[in-house]
Structure 1
Amino acid sequence: MNNFSHVQMGVDYYPEHWDRSLWVEDAQKMKEVGVKVIRVGEFAWSRFEPKEGLFDFKWLDDAIALFHDQGIQVVIGTPTHTPPRWLTEKCPDILPIQANGQPNHAGVRGHRCFNSESMDSYGSRIVAQLTQHYKDHPAVIGWQTDNEFSLTYCHCESCNARFREWLQNKYSSLEQVNQEWGTVVWSGEYNSWSQVTTPIGGSPFQNPSYQLDYYRFQSHSANIFQQRQIDIIRHNCPQHFITHNFHSYPQKLDLYPLGENLDVAAFDYYPNTSPNKTTTGPYSGALSLDITRGIKRRNFWIMEQLSGPPGCWMPMWRTPYPGFIRAYIWQAISRGADTVVQFRWRSANIGAEQFWHGLIDHSNIPGRRFEEFTKVCAEVNALSSTLAGTVLRNDIAILHSHDQLVALDIQPQSEGLDYYENIKCWHRTVTKLGLGVDVLNWMEHLSDYKIIIAPSLYLMDPAVATNLASFAEAGGTIIFTHRTGVKNMNNVCLMEPLPGLLSACAGVEVEEYDPIGNDPHHMVTADDISYSCSQWCDILKPTTAETLAWYADDFYAGKSAVTVNSHGRGKVYYLGTHVDESYMKVLIEELVEAHDLMIFPELPEGVQVSVRVRDSQSFLFILNLSREFQRIPLDSSYESVLYPGIKHPNTLTLEPYGVEILNMHNNH
């Protein structure tokens, strides 16, 4: 297996889009600026197989040879995201069928059904041909499966047949399906398996248990589709690594099963360039990076990163401000990216993505953004060996669940209650305090952490409930929030006081609730400080818990809003409402102090810190992801790793989009 842990820069390159005369100068220029790896091929099926059974890899052989001569390594994308027209014309069953019965059409991308037998046959063949051809090529180090998986929401005959099979494997009988889904409502009971179909018609008002299982089946289909490719690649190229380029939540695809059999997760990162997003964008991006790291619980790749203003399906964004590209590359590395691949080397002059800008504009004259990229390449290459093998080790984790996201989307609970946006709030609060945080699949083991934040565990798995209670018993701290323990895993409401299976460890029960949405409400703490709250109010009845805050409005004024319970050697907090971020900050600061964690309480807006460690070495990344000069207080004098010979005595000033990396174990 190739060692892909060294820190390096790369670019996405499409030789099939350019005249061959450009390949040579592009390869030479990449070597000059310090590019170490390129990704190719993920959309090139029509060039790899221009006619059925006629395979042509000569053009890519020639291109790869040029890059190999310059010492640049290659990751090849399997081209199954874009079946060629000759194939979809011959095998129309490849095209997904929409809920209204109409097929998707070729000419865009992602126009393939995961359950199509034709797609399975022809897709497996092109992957087998590619991997056989490049299995021994010295420049090729790895493979990317397909491209940016998402759900196809297909309703073809094959998907209907596979959906029934999936249900038959999950449930013992059709009678059990009726029972678990509660199909008696609206006389929806099934009398034969042939009546069970995908949600044809697309109505959002169908049985929520049925809808949740359909989304799970769709994720399962994507996973099986990818696994066929993984099996072929492993067989033909056992020395190569395998990755996939995930893209941002919120989406209804379950990333965690897809990531399980990959060697490394990858993410396509396009931070928003709008000045209006400077106060939220850096934090949303940090969450996406932390989610990507959590897929495998290890360092990851960026397979596409913003290089200029995007524009394709929407008007173009603002061009990146000076320093923006460099700062966000370092942000990705600071949060665990070992390789950052920029999209793309040169802006396309053909096709739908002509204005999804690359590092070089249509003029083909390198400009300001290219010069900035060149600077980053030099910095990354200079520090590659220093940072090799460094990882993040955090004491705080936020639990993230695909099932919660989908279930809460199927049945919105109140105005403004958005599962992923609420996770953003907690993650942003922790990040603003300079604390590292992992974002994990909610079913992972938790023993490595001291504090767990678990927003809205709306569906409850008994094993997870036991895991969380054990974590608290052993001395950990947990934060639960409103809409916890409402349903079982089949999306059916539980007939027991909320928060259900977590009531005992939380030491509280919900007497009643009020979906307040955006109506202004407040709560008051014991020290008589008022905080605004929104979305939801669980009216709490402590059993063994202590009340920390009380509602100040409505018929439940004076009732408990926030509680804490001692459970074993740990503490369990229950927040019955979506609290203001200022209260989140106060609470996290108290917990951090109790667990004696390092904190940066005076971080300016837009400044983020992160620590990568290896053995006894620790490197502190400080990034100013804002358009203002920022002054950051330090607890000591630190030596710069990024700028050798520079020391920062107790304070650091960073220009807009400025970056610094400090040696934490060489301070005085």
Structure 2
Amino acid sequence: MKKISAFNPKYSLLGFLLFGFSVFSGFAQQKKNFFPPEELTSVGAYYYPEHWDESQWERDIKKMAEMGFEFTHFAEFAWAQLEPEEGVYDFAWLDKAVALADKYNLKVVMCTSTATPPVWLVRKHPDILKEHENGTQMDHGARQHASFSNEYYRSYSLKMIEELAKHYGNDERIFGWQLDNEPAANVDYGDDAVKRFRTWLKEKYGNIKTLNEAWGTNFWSGTYTSFDEINIPKHSQWGMNLYQRLDHSRFCDYETSSFLDEQAKVIRPYANPDQWITTNYIPYYDARYAGASKELDFITYTRYMIYGEHHGIGPKGYRVGEYSRIAMANDYFRPLSPIYGVMELQPGQVNWGSINSQPLPGAVRLWLWHVFAGGSKFTCTYRYRAPIYGYEQYHYGIVGPDGVTPTPGGLEYEAFIKEIEVLRNNPSDGKIPQDYLNRKTAILYDPDNTVAINNNKQTNLWDTEGHVLKYYKALKAYGAPVDFIRDSMDFSQYPVLVLPAYQQMSMELVDKLTAYVKNGGNLVMSVRTGHQNELGHLWQAKHAEPLYELIGGEIEFYDLLRDFAPDTVVMDNKKYAWTTWGDIMHTNTGTESWGTFSGDYYAGKTAVTFNKLGKGTVTYVGADSHGGILERAVLDKLYARLAIDVKDYPEGVLVEYRDGYGIAVNYSNIAYNMELPAGTEILIGEKSIPTAGVLVWKTK
């Protein structure tokens, strides 16, 4: 053990600002290809040597390697073992575990332990604990209870990370670093958080006049004369300034992303060029911090499928899971990062859900293949050994509580690893079918929009993510490759671009969309799009007027119905029920009215428009329908008009291509017979894909 002094001022906020930070400067330049393409993917498992008697470590790690795992994952929650007392570091136990992993040819992901500060740090500096809106504090004994906004905590944790990096940064057995664990928006009402919020606002707006204009503080006598007068808004207090709340949520996300970047900057000088740095996010689609930590080499996500929150398809679909969860996570994170991986994938039954059912046999393997289908470079499971004590008792591992017997999920991981070896031994030519590429579609998505809408829904029946899924699920039924992209990205590579409920937009974005269409792009917009400018203010103009050239008409007003009194939109002599939001429009000469409202005082008014503009087209879907039936019908009509060949896969059947391989997975409750082109070689599975089944092929 070695003794280190307790505090280093270079990690203070002042030092942080002086040394410089750029949240949106682009991902850290990759020094090499961390994952050779011929390996396709790699599979690992979390292991916690500190949870088990040292006499069992070698048995466990050897068994992990025998099952085919290629890497393991250490020290994620081990700060108390790494630094048992202030300034005293003990890496000897971890060195033994790393040596055993190396003995059995397992690479190691080394983790920072910032999710679980030791009790001596909490008791000596209780101000590091997050403070709730009501003034109560969190306490030691859980995880993520320390505040990323606390100056001392940020500084001290970075010093601990520096010692870890010094010890393992030039260690060839360590092939990557994970920062924190499932970091989320840092919400804290402590004194340091208030000070940092004020500093963040001052840097963003420059002067108080600009802030007052952005927040609209003339409303309800909310004007500020100094940044020092601003507190963190009480989110539970009715009528709080919406823009102050929105900026506070942005600040909370910034605190998370900036803290991760600080960690990466500390590790980078000590890490050898072969070591990558990442973190693992839970796929929250209202989180701005995902993709904002640009000092990372790439990002990863966590995904659990069976925990009582989703019904799936059919009476037993809850044992397989909601089919869009992995698909959307793949398509959301992939465009945000040079590459991506999945750091936690459920190995079986969990303990922390509302109802912790057993997965259907085959479901774990299905999820592994689905992750692979999206392009993930690796998959890691939480965890190798099922815990026998602590909060996560009853959580399955790859082996059970005896530490020896593989669980059903463990056997499915082993089967997947062997099947990946089949692909490695049957390399493809890497070509992707042209008809698949022709269907490539982007969804323009900004989590800031989602937060803003959810702060001011206008109807409690509105579900932002559910609205996006109506379009996304239709596109996946087409067998379309989908990317969730941001407005700074290139639109031109996508024949079709969908903007579901994109409420806030700048004139620069309107101009960019107009240029995309005039140059031949096909734009689909839905309700609530373009109603506000980038500040979240309504336009000082007709309702959504900046969109009128694109739409080829005007939005006269919007309506919100009661759940007991839905109405319909009529398109091609079919009726589609809606309740939550309707944009009532009229069209210009030359603009096609594809659908009209019926059943209320504005019956006959346009609900769906199709406008040709330059070389491209704009389709506006002015209703949020029940179950997404209208949205699917509009997309069907549009893709037929554009002569884009699409598939018609049933709900729960998803098909993707990567590295020249076709992968089909079946979450539905009935078998699906897959049609394959001539010259196809099946590598895994059969053409008839059962529930939780997988089919993998390549073209000869």
Q: TM-score, normalised by structure 1?
A: 0.93
**1:81 aligned counterpart, secondary structure:** coil
Change beyond 3 A, Cα 1:46–1:8 = same
User: Which residue in 1 is equivalent to 2:575?
Assistant: 530
User: Which residue in 2 is equivalent to 1:317?
Assistant: 356
User: Which residue in 2 is equivalent to 1:498?
Assistant: 543
Distance 2:205 2:69 in 1: 52
User: Which residue in 2 is equivalent to 1:586?
Assistant: 633
**1:178 aligned counterpart, secondary structure:** helix
Mark the runs of 5 or more structure 2 residues left unpaired by the alignment: 1-31
User: Which residue in 2 is equivalent to 1:557?
Assistant: 603
Is residue 67 from structure 1 mapped to residue 101 from structure 2 by the alignment? yes
Mapped contact 2:326–2:367 kept (Cα < 8 A): no
Letter in 2 for 1:535: T
Mapped contact 2:307–2:355 kept (Cα < 8 A): no
**1:325 aligned counterpart, secondary structure:** helix
For 1:291-370, list aligned pairs within 5 A: 291-296=332-337, 298-312=338-352, 314-364=353-403, 365-370=405-410
Mark the runs of 5 or more structure 1 residues left unpaired by the alignment: none
Q: Which moved more, 1:188-197 or 1:134-143?
A: 188-197
Letter in 1 for 2:692: Y
Is residue 630 from structure 1 mapped to residue 668 from structure 2 by the alignment? no
C-alpha deviation, 1:133, in angstroms: 0.4
Mapped contact 1:155–1:200 kept (Cα < 8 A): no
Distance 1:211 1:661 in 2: 48
Is residue 160 from structure 1 mapped to residue 206 from structure 2 by the alignment? no
C-alpha deviation, 1:188, in angstroms: 1.5
Letter in 1 for 2:271: C
Is residue 282 from structure 1 mapped to residue 318 from structure 2 by the alignment? no
Distance 2:399 2:238 in 1: 44
**2:673 aligned counterpart, secondary structure:** strand
For 1:406-445, list aligned pairs within 5 A: 406-445=451-490
Change beyond 3 A, Cα 1:177–1:288 = same
C-alpha deviation, 1:205, in angstroms: 2.6
Q: Which moved more, 1:273-282 or 1:423-432?
A: 273-282
Q: Which moved more, 1:248-257 or 1:190-199?
A: 248-257
C-alpha deviation, 1:256, in angstroms: 2.9
Is residue 24 from structure 1 mapped to residue 58 from structure 2 by the alignment? yes
Q: Which moved more, 1:123-132 or 1:181-190?
A: 181-190
User: Which residue in 2 is equivalent to 1:656?
Assistant: 691
1:405 to 442, 450, 458: 450
Is residue 379 from structure 1 mapped to residue 419 from structure 2 by the alignment? yes
Is residue 476 from structure 1 mapped to residue 521 from structure 2 by the alignment? yes
Mapped contact 1:347–1:354 kept (Cα < 8 A): yes
Mapped contact 1:609–1:621 kept (Cα < 8 A): yes
Letter in 2 for 1:454: L
**1:235 aligned counterpart, secondary structure:** coil
C-alpha deviation, 1:501, in angstroms: 2.4
Letter in 2 for 1:288: A
Distance 2:675 2:44 in 1: 34
**1:10 aligned counterpart, secondary structure:** strand
How many residue pairs match? The answer is: 649
Change beyond 3 A, Cα 1:207–1:129 = same
Q: Which moved more, 1:231-240 or 1:65-74?
A: 231-240
Name the Cα RMSD after superposition: 2.2
Letter in 1 for 2:331: D
User: Which residue in 1 is equivalent to 2:5?
Assistant: none
C-alpha deviation, 1:168, in angstroms: 1.2
Matched-pair identity in %: 29
Distance 2:462 2:573 in 1: 27
Mapped contact 2:43–2:380 kept (Cα < 8 A): yes
Distance 1:288 1:166 in 2: 30
Is residue 151 from structure 1 mapped to residue 196 from structure 2 by the alignment? no
C-alpha deviation, 1:91, in angstroms: 1.5
C-alpha deviation, 1:584, in angstroms: 2.5
C-alpha deviation, 1:172, in angstroms: 3.2
Letter in 1 for 2:420: V
| Post-superposition CA distance 1:342-388 (Å, at most 9, x none) | 11111111211112221222233224322222111111233247379
| Post-superposition CA distance 1:85-118 (Å, at most 9, x none) | 1111112221111111111212111112112111
Distance 2:650 2:503 in 1: 34
Letter in 2 for 1:557: A
Distance 2:345 2:463 in 1: 27
C-alpha deviation, 1:204, in angstroms: 4.8
C-alpha deviation, 1:251, in angstroms: 4.2
2:283 to 233, 245, 248: 248
User: Which residue in 2 is equivalent to 1:608?
Assistant: 654
Change beyond 3 A, Cα 1:72–1:411 = same
Mapped contact 2:499–2:529 kept (Cα < 8 A): no
Q: TM-score, normalised by structure 2?
A: 0.89
Change beyond 3 A, Cα 1:504–1:302 = same
| Post-superposition CA distance 1:424-464 (Å, at most 9, x none) | 11111111222221112243221211111111111112222
C-alpha deviation, 1:245, in angstroms: 0.3
Change beyond 3 A, Cα 1:459–1:511 = same
Distance 2:643 2:104 in 1: 50
2:266 to 217, 232, 238: 232
User: Which residue in 1 is equivalent to 2:242?
Assistant: 208
Change beyond 3 A, Cα 1:128–1:403 = same
Distance 1:70 1:325 in 2: 25
